[in-house]
Amino acid sequence: MIKQNLEIVEYLEIEGGIPLRGTVEISGAKNAALPNMAATLLTDEEIILENMPNLLDVKTMKDLLSFVGFSIEKLSEKTFSFKQKTINSLVAPYELVSKMRASILVLGPMLSRFKHAKVALPGGCSIGTRPVDLHLSALEKMGADIKVEHGYIIAKAPNGLKGAHINFEKITVTGTENIMMAAVLAEGETVITNAAREPEVVDLAKMLKKMGAKIEGEGTSTIYIKGVKKLHGTKHRIIPDRIEAGTFAVLSALFDGNITIKNYPLEYLEFVNKRLEEIGVYVIPIGKDEIAIKRKKKLKPVDIETKEYPYFPTDLQAQFMTLLSVVDGVSSITENIFENRFMHVPELERLGADIKVKDKTAYIRGVKKLTGAEVKATDLRASAAMVIAGLIAEGTTRIYDIYHLDRGYENIDEKLKKLGAKLRRDMIERTL
Ligand code: EPZ
């Protein structure tokens, strides 16, 4: 008898076509919380982070900091205190890094404060190989001795890091964040050119400056950092998640604008709001940090190219593909950031979408409606695109490998149920 390997797979089952309405509140940004938490390594004083999102990735980063020797205390629902207790180890072990690539963010702060770090080389993920070569070459330029052995990055800077001019040949978000955190305690000045301009990079700089760091130019392509001897504790509030916000704007547009959104960071979504307007969807401020969505009856096809901030974010590409899959006419989406971020295309096709991929561009011919099917989530943002598709499809949709969703969307089931969605989770045994 051939022994078959079985695995337990969790799925989310969605009853499609039910009209959704109500108000949803955007949580703190995952991609701000992760670097902000890594920055707590830069001081032995207490750091308090507010508006923390309750996400799998945030839990993984907490586990990583506890492993190093930090105590993490929950002060209230979304407020946590981070304080160095003892330094047990300057290692980011494989079992944690393999769950979350962003663990690489502890490398810069560990190296600049403790002059030594051992971080498992983050694997790729389904959207691409996701190398960290730019992080490592920049740290070497700052005087670190970097070796990669047995799947680990071993970084040493016994005499401390030295400021340098770091020019990133490719714009890298966590690369910029890692070097900023390396430079704040380095000797002398560091200039980062071709730096990432994302709001999460700016937010990290704000937090570091509250800790006593000397940084200028954050949010532009050139960031200047003057190293200081020591950083002190601070309190910092995590910014709202612009990707979760954009995801719900797409959902609202597909339900006739019957969903309003609280904590919608208008200033981080200017380019996205412009593309929504071209489609015929309008983001209307209705109060402090709250928006309503209005939409034309007939939406128009558009051509979208993903690019680094402040242009169209790759993290909203899949969600917009779901929207455009039911917009009459032919739209196109070109993915310029990651080499393999179209895995949701065959899954959307199972739901009845009509999409053809040629090189880096997906051509989407709108169909009247999507119909329920069994699909799988392929990456964090694609899983959100599948949920949106399941909510508008006729009939039932089951999304397997749903753990991707919980990495980046806080309490998504509750938020959707509050809007009237009918969904449930269950598990099945699947032969490998
Ligand atoms: C950040 O990833 C985000 N993650 C990603 O969000 C986001 O998709 C991405 O930026 C692009 O906006 C966090 O902030 C935690 P990059 P990051 O370095 O920093 C190449 C999500 O869904 N590159 O800006 O890893 C890389 O392969 C996640 O929340 C190198 O070649 O992305 C990619 O093609 C998904 N060498 C491009 O640069 C390097 O050393 C941009 O990557 C680093 C990056």
For residue 296, how far is its CA from the centre of ligand 1 (angstroms)? Answer: 34
Q: Residue with the nearest Cα to atom 16 of ligand 1?
A: 172
> For the chain, how far is it from start to end, CA to CA, in angstroms?
16
* Cα(18) to centroid(ligand 1), Å: 35
Helix-then-strand count for the chain, H and E: 14, 24
Across 13-24, average pLDDT = 97
Cα 280 to ligand 1 centroid, rounded to whole Å = 30
What pLDDT does 349 receive? 98
Instruction: Indicate which residue of 18, 72, 125, 146 is catalytic.
Output: 125
Output the CA–CA distances (angstroms, integers) from residue 352 to 13, 97, 287, 297, 366, in the order listed: 17, 36, 38, 22, 10
Q: What is the Å distance from ligand 1's center to 127 Cα? A: 10
Q: What is the pLDDT of residue 1?
A: 64
With beta carbons less than 8 A apart as the criterion, state whether 277 and 249 touch. no
Q: Check pocket membership of 135 for ligand 1, CB cut-off 6 A.
A: yes
Following DSSP, what letter does each residue of 297-323 receive, concatenated? SS----EEE--STTS--GGGHHHHHHH
Indicate whether residue 174 lines ligand 1 (CB < 6 A).
yes
Q: Does the Cβ of 362 fall within 6 Å of ligand 1?
A: no
Give residue 7's pLDDT. Answer: 84
Amino acid symbol at 38: A
Closest to 264 measured CA to CA, from 241, 293, 280: 241
Omega prior to 310 cis, within 30 of 0: yes
CA–CA gap between residue 246 and residue 409 (Å, rounded): 12
pLDDT score recorded for residue 128: 76
Question: Residue 430: its pLDDT value, please?
Answer: 81
Three-state secondary structure call for residue 197: coil
Q: What is the pLDDT of residues 303-314, one digit of tens each?
A: 999 999 999 999
Known catalytic residue: 125? Answer: yes
Query: From start to end of 136-220, where are the E strands?
Result: 145-149, 152-156, 165-167, 189-193, 214-216
Q: What is the pLDDT of residues 229-241, one digit of tens each?
A: 999 999 999 999 9
Ligand 1 atom 44 nearest Cα: 172
Does residue 337's CB lie within 6 angstroms of at least one atom of ligand 1? yes
Segment 133-144 mean pLDDT: 97
* Ligand 1 atom 28 nearest Cα: 315
